[in-house]
Amino acid sequence: MNRVATFFTHSHHAVELDWSIPLIIEFAKTTQVQIICTNIFSFEGTLYKKFPMIKGNKNISIIYLDEIYSLNRIKTLLFSQKLIYRILIKVIPKMVTYKKIKKYCENSQLIFASNHLVTETQSIANLFYKCAKDSNAIFVGIPLVPWTSWYQWYLFDFDYFLSSSKSEFQELKALKSESKILFLGCPPFEDNHYSSIDTKEDSNKMNKTQKTVLFIMVNTTNPIYVKYLDIYEDIRQFVLFLESRDYKCIIKLHPESLLEDKIKFKNIGISDSYFVYDSIESICSKVDIAITYLSTAILKCVARKVISFTYLPQSFLSSFPNNGEVYQQVYFTSKELDVCRLEDYCYKIETPDEIADIFEIENDLKAEYLLKNFQPENSSVRIIEYFNSVVENQEG
């Protein structure tokens, strides 16, 4: 019997797969892989746009929301009427989806999913986690994204949980959990993962006669940015500063607030020519500098030894939620907001001109520290070998 490894995403943008896509590609060399998407319709094309490297792989099958709800027979009539689909799935009995999800889980030997807080609702996510836990498959938890520290107060009752770094491993070991905590490296920072991405040149090719600066935009609907009304103007001024020194600037918008941010940028003179839509992984090889506020994506740039900055102007810090203790703990080490958790891996700046002295760094100790803590090299192979041995012992 062919083994099946299942990966689960409940995000509309498949955020959970950012951590596991290198595992999926490596698994697919010898194993059947199914990706269950409980918040993406097949006609949206989200996965292939975000992860073009999996397209055409015969060992990878994708199960979309319309298939889970058995809507395939009427899909030719509705085409891409997403609103109608959303209405239909609300009235279809949960037992229909439960049977489908249960079958997917029971046919798997390994199931990977991000940490999940179970509630009393009969949501499709809760149904999946129940079926995965009740199945004979080995249920493996993964971080939603790699971060500098463990930022959630709970841990689902997985059989195993994979930490992203040595430091996160120690934090997770301190939690009271029945899951077996492992640290086998961090796949999304793996060099092999980056080299497997198609970086063919196109009309958006970066002009290498000048240095290119990437701004990684944050989700402006996140509560920590809601009161930061100057964010668009601050970035515009930063762009003007860099352009006056002959740097090329590009902006990667966050998918959750992309449309709104694009409009607001355009209103102040930042045109379409600044925006890039490729993945951070594929953009990394084309840029010299990366800048963000508090985006986890900046760590991908550090892993590729791109000189990276976390930009924390006073206008942002003064707008930070006063009652946001949870947010403070996620991003800072103190209530005074004077030490950011990204500082071990990025250079912190408060004004654009502070960047000048760091542009010409040759040996970036920040990247060295990240690679030492996250140990990405060959991590996908290590993880797969570990769990293949677990499955063999279970089958034996």
Dump pLDDT digits (tens) for 182-198: 999 999 999 877 665 64
Distance of CA 4 to the CA centre of its chain: 23
Number of domains in the chain: 2
Tens of pLDDT, residues 90-142: 655 566 678 889 999 999 999 999 998 877 777 889 999 999 999 999 999 99
Structural domain contains residue 307: yes
Return contacts of 199-203, CB within 8 angstroms, 24+ apart.
199/282, 199/285, 199/286
CA-to-CA distance for 191 and 381, rounded, in angstroms? 13
DSSP for 296-328 reads TTHHHHHHTT-EEEEE--HHHHTTS-TT-HHHH
Q: 385 and 338, same structural domain?
A: no
| Residues 163 and 256 grouped into a single domain | no
> Which residue(s) pair with 215 in the sheet?
251, 291
Q: Do 357 and 258 sit in the same domain of this protein?
A: yes
pLDDT at 209 over 90: no
- Torsion 171-169-172-10 (CA) sign: positive
Residue 198: inside a domain: no
The model carries a pTM of 0.89
Task: Judge if 40 and 132 occupy the same domain.
Answer: yes
195, part of any domain: no
- Mark whether 229 and 153 lie in a shared domain: no
Cα–Cα–Cα angle for 234, 239, 242, nearest 5°? 125
Q: Which residue has the higher pLDDT, 279 or 113?
A: 113
Question: Domain containing 70: what range?
Answer: 4-190+376-395
Q: In terms of DSSP bridges, do strands 60-63 and 110-114 run parallel, antiparallel, or are they unpaired?
A: unpaired
Answer yes or no: do 87 and 217 share one domain: no
Residue with tokens 């971060």: 147
Are 218 and 312 within one domain? yes
Q: Residue 20 sits in a domain of what CATH number?
A: 3.40.50.2000
User: Does one domain contain both 359 and 272?
Assistant: yes
The answer to whether 199 touches 285, Cβ cutoff 8 Å, is yes
